[in-house]
Amino acid sequence: MKHPETVLEINLTDLTSNYTYLKNKIRPEVKMMAVVKAFGYGSDAVAVAKHLEALQIDYFAVAYAPEGVQLRRAGITTPILVLHPQPGNFELLLDYDLEPNLYSQRVLELFITKVKTAAKQAYPIHIKYNSGLNRIGFSDAEIPVVLEHLCNAQEVKVVSLLSHLAASEEHEERAFTLEQIARFTKFSEQIIAKIGYTPLMHCTNTSGILNYPEAHFSMVRCGIGLYGFGNDAVYDKNLFPIASLRSVISQIHELTPGDSVGYNRTFVADKPMRSATIPLGHADGIGRQYGQGKGFVMINGNRAYILGNVCMDMIMVDVTDIDCEEGTRVVLFGKDMPADVLAGTTGSISYELITGVSARVIRQIVD
C-alpha cells in the first residue's frame, strides 16, 4: 500500500526535540534510559530506538523479553533492561543479552540458577525495590536475602538499583513521593555498603524527572516524555507528540430527520444533518467508549463528534457545520490535537490512547 488512507505518522525530528528538552532537565553526568516498551508507546519501537541510539542514549527499557528480542534483531546494541522478566523468558534474556529487573526472591533465585547452568559470569542484573507502588519489587524485610545472594553469586553483577514512583505527576502526593525517594535511598545505601561497588540508581519516570530533580540519582527512565507528553500543561508546551493519527473522509451522507446512523441505531437525526464516514474503528484503537458523541476527529480545524456506535473498521462523525468533502483529511490526534485531549473525553489518558493504535494502522516514519 503506497498511500494508505489511515496512517500513524511518527516524526523523528520531534523525538529529537523531546530528547533534547529532557536531557537538559538532568545533570550532564546523569544517564538516560529510554523506555520503548509496548512498541515504543504504540509508535514504532525499532525506529524510535535506532533514532535514540544514534543520539547516544545510554540505556533502553522494555516491559517484556520479546520486546527486547525485537530490538536486538533489528541491530540495537545499547544495553536493554527488561522491566518484567518472567522465568519462562530467561532463556531469551541470555540469548539476546537482555538484562532482567529482578524483584522477588523467587525470580532472583531462578535467574541465578539459570545463569549458573549457562556457565556465565557477572551477568548484568538490576534489583527492584518496592518503595510504595506495591506492584513489583523487594521489600525491606527481604534485604538480607537479597544481600546473601548478591554477595555470594559470582554469576551475576548488579548494574543498577531501581524503584518506581506511584504518583510523580500528582502534586498533592508530594509528601508520599518524597518518602518513596527516601526509602529507596536507604535501601540502596544498605545494598551498596555490603556488595562493595556502586551500581547505577534510578527511580524517576517522565513526571519524576520533571517534578523531582533531587531524585535523578545516576540515571532517569523516560517514556511518555520522549513521545511528547509531560502529564502537565507546564511541560506539554515544550514537548511535541511524535505520533499523529490521521485518515480521510470516505463518504458523506445527507441525513433527514429520523435517519439513524450506525449499528443499533443509537443516533437518530432530529434535523437535516451531514455525516462523514472515516475508515478507522475500534479494531484500530479507537474504542467504543469514544462513540455516542464523546470522541471527535479534527476536520479543517473543527471538532467533528462521533455519531452513534464506533464500528470495528469505521466511525461516522457529524460534519453538518464543517466545510469538507469526500477525501478531506481528518486528524484524530497529533501535534495540533494532543492525544490526551481526545483520551480525556472518555476519562482515559494519553498513554492508553497512543499505545492502543493497532498493528493494522500503517506507520509512516518522517525524519
Ligand X SMILES: *Cc1c(COP(=O)(O)O)cnc(C)c1O
- Annotated catalytic residues are 37, 263
Nearest-Å Rg of the Cα atoms of the chain is 24
Least Å distance, CB 141 to ligand X, is 22
Q: Which is nearer to ligand X, 38 or 269 (CB)?
A: 38
Q: Which is nearer to ligand X, 38 or 306 (CB)?
A: 38
Least Å distance, CB 131 to ligand X, is 12
Residues that bind ligand X (CB under 6 A): 35, 37, 83, 164, 205-206, 221-225
Least Å distance, CB 266 to ligand X, is 35
Least Å distance, CB 208 to ligand X, is 8
Q: Which is nearer to ligand X, 149 or 164 (CB)?
A: 164
Q: Which is nearer to ligand X, 275 or 348 (CB)?
A: 348
Least Å distance, CB 154 to ligand X, is 28
Q: Which is nearer to ligand X, 8 or 82 (CB)?
A: 82
